[in-house]
Structure 1
Amino acid sequence: MKSIYKHITCLLFAVIVTSCNKDFLERKPLDIIADDAAYGSLSGIQALTANLYNNMPTEDLGFFMDGSEALFPSQATDEAVRSYSWGYTLDPILEDGYYIWWKYDLVRTVNDFIQKIPAVTSINEELKARFLAEARFVRAFYYFSLVKRYGGIPLITKVQQYNGSNLEELKVPRNKEQEIYDFVASELDAIVDQLPESYAANDRYRATRYAVLALKCRAMLYAASIAKYGTVQLGGLVGIASPADGYWQKAYDAAKAIITSGKFQLYKENPDKTDNFQQLFLTAADMDKNKEAIFVKTYKAPDKSHSFDFYNAPQSFKVDYGCVTNPTTELAEEFEYTDGTKGTLKIKDASGNPIVYSNPADLFKNKDPRFKASIMYPFTSWQGGIVEIRRGVIDNGTKYTSPNLTDVYGTGANSIPRVGKDGPLLAGDPTKTGFYIKKFMDPVNRVNSQMSTTPWMIFRYAEVLLNYAEAAIELGKTGDALTAINELRERAGIKALTSVTRDQVRHERKVELAFENHRWWDMCRWRIATDVLNNTQFHALYPWLMWENGKAPAAMKYTFEIVPAPKNTRTFLPKLYYVKIPPDEISKNSNLVQNPGY
């Protein structure tokens, strides 16, 4: 894992700076370049700035939760379970250590840049102001990433220097959680007008003023949630004592500024609603055409890529690894039908008898197109084939299954593997729930290891609409919330709502942003993880072939059942709303106070 991460980091650095002068790519590593060389030219400053972007904790497609390979955030939520038999999320009790400590050396790097850039003489004042604003954006993003994990943390804005006798002075105590959120807001307010609305094509992946507003919108939404639903502890080191409405209003205002700018819109390039939502994520790097993308991290193989497809490919489509993220039936049923009715899968009739489907894919007919674009369900078309998911055969009421993919049922030309080539199985790699992830996946190419290039939208317009709706509903601006939610539903092809509640706003957020690494944080900031995850058994969908003697299996019909997934229930302890500060960090700094419950 560490070698993979290091590889991604180095390659990301190279690609981000494609806008720099060509000779920059031949420069020595920045950690061995003297200050006068690094700050002595435009290309050197561009390289330093690119390095700041590179270090941002964006929690993207290559982000693993606790350092374990292929342990993606959705596997710790109600979105998915982990297929592999190893990894943190298989523990019955979700313990501390889920997120690695975000080291302050990266904060120091940003602070160093912020302190040095004003004295630079190699570029004009306008450029200096922009580079400085970009650095402050990166630092604000970094502090937001810290505060949402730990609550209040030491707020350090200047480079600390050890002179041989000032060690105690360098042991900075934790600031209050509210102080960190307020710092993020004030930094973003200070720089929003110093960054351009857009860049030329070769610089399009840098932060604009709308990226600043998007970060403020998200951060203030989190602060408001903590103020309303959290508890103040440790004298304010965790929790926010101020009224939540002030933060809801800041989130609302930042989102509204993006909305009313007219610069962004929901992606609607494809008339097919399913294809459109799938292509939204695959085309985000083309920001001229994809107007939903606000701030994007891009990849280019072989120099810079990620392994999302490699780890998540269905069993018969994988190259070595695969199968790891298995969406739950609970998530599948969160996606409504296009007429606005609940998304409960229709596996039984009104009398409680199994419904028999001639075409098993018909079980998902008229489901929210976002479901079909986000989740591979049984018998989905994929990469020129079919994701064949079958738990076994039912012959005269008796079920016949297998612990492997090779056992067959029937004889001669009418024989068939009992279990589909893509599972599900109770052990091994194939799906444990009857589903695979589809969002972000390459629909054409089988990807080998570090070769995926799907971009990552750090901020997209749909999230802004959802943030706006949430802030609006909390402020009592129900009409604004309804308008934003219906804009998303219209793009998805779902019946519009005539009224909206807080729970409906949260529901829309869950399905629109599924697998985009928001759900864990949403459950934490709303303080609902203890209810959603504790002692919750997630479920699998099992297709069964209805055997008919003398008939070709391809012409036979299917029924379905929903059963507990072969994974442990989980316990989410309330202390996990904040991440544990590593004891060795506290031993180094006696002024640090551990978070509650640890």
Structure 2
Amino acid sequence: MKIKHIKYSIAILAMIQLTVSCKKDFLELTPKGTATEENFYRNETEVYQGLIAVYDVMQWGTSGGYTMKQPLLSAASDDCWAGGGNASDQPGWVAYDNFNMDSRLGPQVGLWSKNFTGVNRANIILEKIEKATTLSAAFKSRVTAEAKFLRAYFYFDLVRFFGNVPLITKIIPTAELYTQTQSAPAAIYAQVEKDLREAFPDLPPTVATNEKGRITRGAAKALLGKVLLFQNDNTKMAEAATLFNDVNRTGNEYGYSLLPNYADIFKPDNKFNAEVILEIPHSTLAAWGDWNWVNGGEGNVGTQFVGMDSYNGDTYSAGWGFCPVTLDLVNVMKADPRFEASIIDGAALKAGGATYNARYQNTDYFIKKYAPLKAYRSNSGTAELNWPIDEIEMRLADTYLMEAEALVRSGGNATRALELLTAVRARVGLAPLPATLDNIYNERRLELAFEGHRFFDLVRSGRAVAVLGPVGFKAGKSEWLPVPQQEIDLTKGVIKQNPGYN
């Protein structure tokens, strides 16, 4: 289902009217015509459609260029190179890979636009729902909680990518569009915490099968714990550990559990499995074919990016050769049981008769978790735009390791921290290790490879200079992306550039 009738004023400093298009597995509604923002949101059906338009932005990966979060962050980390056809194929990716961004070069336009679009759409819903008079109390409280979670989700990405960003929690009058100043990260984090604390009491612990993809209380508590952890304030670690424990403990109301088989987590036919806490769905249902507006579709274009270029052989479909896996990670994971489910050994495939083109920065190792699989290649629309491979944002092994870290950093229950680390390792047949921060961080790299965590883990733990310094990372600069130059120009300098960029 494609919603074509909700018009929004979107995106910070570039609020233009446009048609909203979205699809989620938990929404099956029939379009009923056209409406403007001013006369929409009259009843629960219309408010719900507006909410789904906020969810829709989570799925985007091509605002202002190809900026799919998971593969892009893998390229920024020490797990992958940028790859592609050559250094000019996706210059923004290469610039992020070697930390050579400037105000006009890098992935910043897409990430800024996407997340502020999400913030603005959440603000619209929150403001409109307050004025609606025909909504039941239960519906209103749940939708309000979901919108606050989503606003927090988008702002969490903004503060991690950019640091100082405008803090906007209401619809902006036209006269104020170009006067929005930036707030310090502490203020952004405070708002994210506030939204999440207000959200989770009104969210359900679980959702019905036809609502998979909607936010649950467990997701909100897990994200709040993560937000506390990422602020690197040890006084917040005990609360973070408590939040994670609520999500992780056996017999809780959420029903999460580690899957017995690690590889099953990432199977496209095992969406929203018991280990998943927050998952962004993708599908082939839109049969999309418009290269000029890729965000209008439902597929995961990141899957096309990481596939082997011009591949001919069994199992996989051809991709574009981005994000070849670094030999550093290959060597670390070679003896790890998760290697087989995480990384494709291209040389082994060639030895078996397969062929592919070796592209820029080729290592002959490729991402397997989100690889293009022949069995899931779309038969309608443009196949490259319609991969039904979901993005897993948070899962139970991730929150196990974050709880263990929070316990260690707060001087909490050491036995519990060891139990959590041991559970993650035991699932793949590995022996226990002491629950030290180094061991927990190393486990996160191996367990969560290519899932969008490694770069931010390096930054927040103070290890980015040691690990990424040899490829260009500079302390006090590379932690954040540059602010898009167009935002500075449009505001005539009201928006300021991040330190170290020109």
Asked if these proteins are the same fold (TM beyond 0.5), I'd say yes
Structure 1 residue 127, shift from structure 2 partner: 0.7
TM-score (norm 2): 0.80
Q: Report the counterpart of residue 192 of structure 2 in structure 1.
A: 184
Gaps of 5+ in 2: 1-17, 287-297, 378-382
Q: Among 480, 488, 495, which residue is 1:578 paired with?
A: 480
Instruction: Tell me how far apart the structure 1 counterparts of residues 443 and 19 of structure 2 sit (CA, whole Å).
Output: 36
For residues 83 and 137 of structure 1, what CA distance do their matches in structure 2 show?
A: 34
Task: Please give the secondary structure, in 2, of the residue aligned with 1:189.
Answer: helix
User: For 1:431 and 1:593, how far apart are their aligned partners in 2?
Assistant: 35
Mapped partners of 2:118, 2:99: distance in 1: 32
Aligned partner letter, 1:186: K
Change beyond 3 A, Cα 1:108–1:321:
closer
* Partner deviation per Cα, 1:430-461 (whole Å, 9 max, x = no partner): 88213122112355527341232122222211
Residue in 2 aligned with 1:487?
A: 423
Q: Secondary structure at the match of 1:109?
A: helix
Give the superposition deviation at 1:573.
2.5
Measured after TM superposition, the shift of residue 501 of structure 1 is 1.4
What amino acid does structure 2 have at the position aligned with 1:316? Answer: N
- Which of residues 115, 119, 124 is equivalent to 2:136? 124
Does residue 259 of the first structure (1) align with residue 248 of the second (2)?
yes
Task: Please state how far the C-alpha of 1:141 moved relative to its aligned partner.
Answer: 0.9
Match of 2:312 among 306, 313, 316: 316
Q: C-alpha deviations, 1:135-173, integer Å up to 9, x for none?
A: 11111111111111122322221222135xxx5x96233
C-alpha distance in 2, partners of 1:312/1:218?
27
Cα distance 1:514–1:446, how it changes in 2: closer, same or farther (>3 A)? Answer: same
Partner of residue 501, structure 1:
436
| Structure 1 contact 188–212 (Cα < 8 Å) conserved | yes
Residue 19 (structure 1) aligns with: 27
**What is the TM-score with the length of structure 1 in the denominator?**
0.68
Q: Which residue of 2 aligns with 1:156?
A: 168
Q: Report % sequence identity.
A: 24
Q: List per-residue Cα deviations over 1:451-499 (Å, max 9, x = no partner).
A: 32122222211111111112122122333321111110011111122x2
Over residues 74-131 of structure 1, what are the superposed CA-to-partner deviations in whole Å (9 max), with x where a residue is unaligned?
A: 1222112234313335455532343324134542322121111022123211111111
Decide whether aligned partners of structure 1 residues 173 and 67 sit closer, same or farther in structure 2, where only a CA change above 3 A counts.
same
Report the equivalent of 2:229: 221
Q: 1:431 to 1:267 in 2, by over 3 A?
A: farther
Matches within 5 A, 1:185-200: 185-200=193-208
Query: Aligned residue for 1:292?
Result: 275
Question: CA–CA distance in 1 between the matches of 2:264 and 2:479?
Answer: 34
**Structure 2 CA distance for aligned equivalents of residues 172 and 526 of structure 1:** 31
Root-mean-square deviation (CA), in Å? 3.0
- Provide the rounded CA distance (Å) in 2 between the counterparts of 1:265 and 1:523: 27
Q: Is the 8 A contact 1:211 1:294 kept in 2?
A: yes
**Is 2:364 the counterpart of 1:434?**
yes
Question: How far does the alpha carbon of each residue in 1:354-402 deviate from its partner, in whole angstroms, 9 at most, with x for none?
Answer: xxxxxxxxxxxxx32211110112565xxxxxx1259xxxxxxxxxxxx
CA contact (8 A) 2:164 2:185 kept: yes
Distance 1:65 1:585 in 2: 13
User: CA 1:65 to 1:471, structure 2 compared with 1: closer, same or farther past 3 Å?
Assistant: farther
CA shift for structure 1 position 421 = 4.6
Distance in 1, matches of 2:344 and 2:20, equals 29
Structure 2 counterpart of 1:359: none
Aligned to 1:272: none
**Structure 1 residues 525 and 121: CA distance shift in structure 2, 3 A:** same
Q: CA deviation at 1:55?
A: 1.7
Question: In the alignment, which residue of structure 2 is the partner of 1:596?
Answer: 499
Contact 2:166-2:183 within 8 A present in 1 as well: yes
* Shift of residue 34, structure 1, vs aligned partner: 4.7
* Distance in 2 separating the partners of 1:187 and 1:531: 35
The reply to whether residue 99 of structure 1 matches residue 107 of structure 2 is yes
Q: Identify if the C-alpha distance between structure 1 residues 379 and 430 changes in structure 2 by more than 3 Å, giving closer, same or farther.
A: same
Inter-CA distance 508–52: structure 2 relative to 1 (3 Å threshold): same
Relative distance call for 1:34 and 1:121 in structure 2 (3 A) is: same
- 1:247-283 alpha-carbon deviations (Å, 9 max, x no partner): 32232122111113263444435xxxxxx22221125
Partner amino acid for 1:33? T
Gaps in structure 1 of 5+ consecutive residues: 1-9, 225-243, 270-275, 336-342, 344-366, 381-386, 391-419, 536-569
Contact 1:389 1:422 in 2 (8 A): no
Corresponding residue of 1:278: 263
How many Å separate the matches in 1 of 2:243 and 2:62? Answer: 27
Residue pair 2:26, 2:212 contacting (<8 A) in 1 also: no
AA aligned opposite 2:155: Y
Match of 2:350 among 384, 388, 391: 388
- Residue of structure 2 equivalent to 1:399: none
In the other structure, the counterpart of 1:458 is: 393
Q: 2-side partners of 1:28 and 1:253: how far apart?
A: 47
